[in-house]
A and B are shown apart, each in its own frame.
Chain A
Amino acid sequence: MKSIVLLSLLGVTSMFAGVFNYRKLILPIILIGIAAAIGLFVDQWGMNKSFYQMAFFDNYAIAFSCLLLSVSFLIFTLALYHYRKEGDIVTDLYALFIFALTGGLLMTSFSNLVMLFLGIEILSIPLYVLAGSRRADLASNEAALKYFLMGAFATGFLLFGIALVYGASGTFDLAGIAAYVKAGKDIPDFFYVGIVLLIVALLFKVSAAPFHFWAPDVYQGSPVLVTTFMSTVVKIAAFAAFLRLFNYCFTPLASYYEIILTAAAVATLLIGNVTALYQQSVKRMLAYSGISHAGYLLIALVVMGASATSVVFFYSAAYAAASLVAFAVLTAVMENKEGRESFETFKGLAKNNPILALCMSVAMLSLAGIPPLAGFFGKYFLFATAIKDGYLWLVLVAIFNSLISLYYYLRVIINMYSSADDEVPAFTPNYALVLMLLLSLGANLALGFYPDLLMGLLG
């Protein structure tokens, strides 16, 4: 809980940076603050502290919180590079990022449906603003309004679901609901409707088909740093919440909702991968790639159980490590090519900036799941767990989709290693970008060579 308080204070500090003129200092302060928050969480490991039955800091919550914080740490390092020339408004954006992050932390540690709702809203409302933070850019505006309208609409379903679940069980407390489900006496029909509505709202948040439509548009229109945040922190937080809620409360009713999740997983995989094939913009392709990875993670949700938590955790970490590199390189390339983001923009990168091209290649191969990178082990553990629980056909579908995904990931690499008249010019990345790439790449390789580093963490 201390770290959540610390983060809220950090957000406020960031808001006042513009007023009291310490803008130059704010990023270092934020980075230190996030590191301190990670430290505070790690300190709580294994203590299972509860906060007034509202939040419960078990190892699951701490592990996912630390993952979110670490990813945010890297995103702020990227901000150090991306916003190095920007002026006033940036500190406000940082504050919004931090508030959103705080919401994400609540989503991993809630032990009450009220906190789930608050977490999701604290995460989403700053993001609506962030998506539209390039005020003069019509694409950014459009992304913000689309995200807002659809997000608010989905909130309605979430609340209706919560209300129905409460109506049947008489409590918002996860433990209470779990006990109610376990007792299983006279569960009214509207309780099941409540579960379906909760699934719908959470599927929307993780951008799973058929509720994924907002994602590509919003990802493409938002400023690239916000897109990075959405496709990593937001997605992981949503999955953490999804898994926590269902794993904790509703597993006895799995046979009821399993088919919905399975159908969503298959549809998400197929739509994400197949649509990504036909994209022109790398940013939009990454959005679809994010959707397809949500599909893989949904398989873990279908399988559920204790093994699923560590699989989801490892998979998200691997996915985040690779995505961060991809978005960082994309940021650098867009900056040197007047903000263009098509596949052709990457031509000549390998010739003029071989290191960046290498990083990007590693990231793409990891996302595609090529050994010995982290992405491979993520998929490997996922498929192994699913096969063990008898979901072979689902794994076959997923493997087929992995094959499709090779096409668009390799397309980036091919473009980087071919030449054109209009190539990415040679430029020297600043220290922040280098640091960020090093850390993410290091994480990727470390997870590839020592998968046990995170696999054993959640039992």
Chain B
Amino acid sequence: MKEVIQGIPLNYYLFLSTVLFSIGVLGVLFRRNAIIILMSVELMLNSINLLLVAFSAFHGDAKAQVFVFFIMIVAAAEVAVGLALMVLIYRNIKTLDIDFLNKLKW
């Protein structure tokens, strides 16, 4: 497996992750639904996971792969909290469009 990963140059992984990450960022930027934004954030995190695994393979070091598990767990916790908050909001204002969340300003 390691050979397979190392068969592709490291820069390719870097580019792929960066592109995925940027797609995530653009998703956050241009979507207005809170759930979609959350999904875009997940995409960002996963692109990082990919990058970490690739680095891990190239360095021959398993620590980064363990770190990936941590990231996944934290992301899961975050999603749990985030979805709960969205339920709360939805009950109050019947929408998840973030443009409606502008009571606090100035």
Contacts and interface: CB of A to CB of B under 8 A. Distances in A.
Are A and B in contact, CB atoms below 8 Å, in the complex? yes
A152 B51 contact: no
A172 B55 CA distance: 12
Interface stretch (A73-81, A162-170, A296-304, A319-327): A162-170
A129 B86 CA distance: 11
Contacts of B101: 142, 145-146
A141 B89 contact: yes
Interface string A121-162: 100010011001001101101111110110011011001100
Interface string B67-106: 1001100100110011011101100110000100101111
B91 to A, nearest CB: 9
B21 A160 contact: yes
A167 B63 CA distance: 12
Contacts of A139: 103-104
B85 A141 contact: yes
A125 B84 CA distance: 12
A132 B81 CA distance: 11
Contacts of A128: 81-82, 85
A145 B24 contact: no
A272 interface: no
Interface residues of B, number: 42
Contact of B41 (A114, A132, A138, A152): A152
B88 A135 contact: yes
A145 B86 contact: yes
Nearest to B89: A141
Contact of B21 (A149, A156, A167, A172): A156
Interface string B19-42: 001001100100000100110010
Nearest to A158: B48
A180 B21 CA distance: 26
A125 B81 contact: yes
Contact of B70 (A117, A143, A163, A221): A117
A125 B104 contact: no
A279 to B, nearest CB: 8
B59 interface: yes
Nearest to A121: B74
A430 B61 CA distance: 58
Nearest to A159: B48
B105 A217 contact: yes
Chain B interface mostly: helix
A170 B98 CA distance: 39
Interface residues of A, number: 39
A143 B85 CA distance: 10
Interface string A215-251: 0110011000000000000000000000000000000
Given A114-B70, A153-B28, A156-B24, A143 B104 contact: yes
A341 B82 CA distance: 29
A118 interface: yes
Given A138-B93, A141-B89, A149 B34 contact: yes
A145 B51 CA distance: 29
A138 B74 CA distance: 27
B61 to A, nearest CB: 6
A160 B41 CA distance: 12
A336 to B, nearest CB: 24
Nearest to B29: A153
B45 A156 contact: yes
A52 B105 CA distance: 45
Contacts of B85: 128-129, 132, 141, 144-145, 148
A190 interface: yes
A139 B105 CA distance: 11
A166 B57 CA distance: 12
B14 A190 contact: yes
A133 B94 CA distance: 19
A190 B63 CA distance: 20
A29 B88 CA distance: 31
Contacts of B78: 121, 125, 148, 152, 155
Nearest to B24: A156
A159 B103 contact: no
A138 B92 contact: yes
Given A152-B78, A152-B82, A156-B48, A220 B59 contact: no
Contacts of A166: 52, 55, 64, 67
A143 B101 CA distance: 9
The 9 A-B residue pairs with the shortest CB-CB distance, nearest first, are A156-B44, A217-B104, A167-B55, A170-B59, A159-B48, A152-B41, A121-B74, A142-B101, A163-B51
Given A118-B74, A141-B92, A156-B45, 9 more contacts: A125-B78, A144-B85, A145-B98, A145-B101, A155-B45, A155-B74, A159-B48, A166-B67, A167-B55
22 contacts: A117-B70, A121-B77, A128-B82, A129-B81, A139-B104, A141-B88, A142-B89, A143-B104, A144-B85, A145-B86, A148-B78, A153-B44, A155-B74, A156-B45, A163-B17, A163-B51, A163-B52, A167-B51, A170-B61, A171-B61, A172-B63, A172-B67
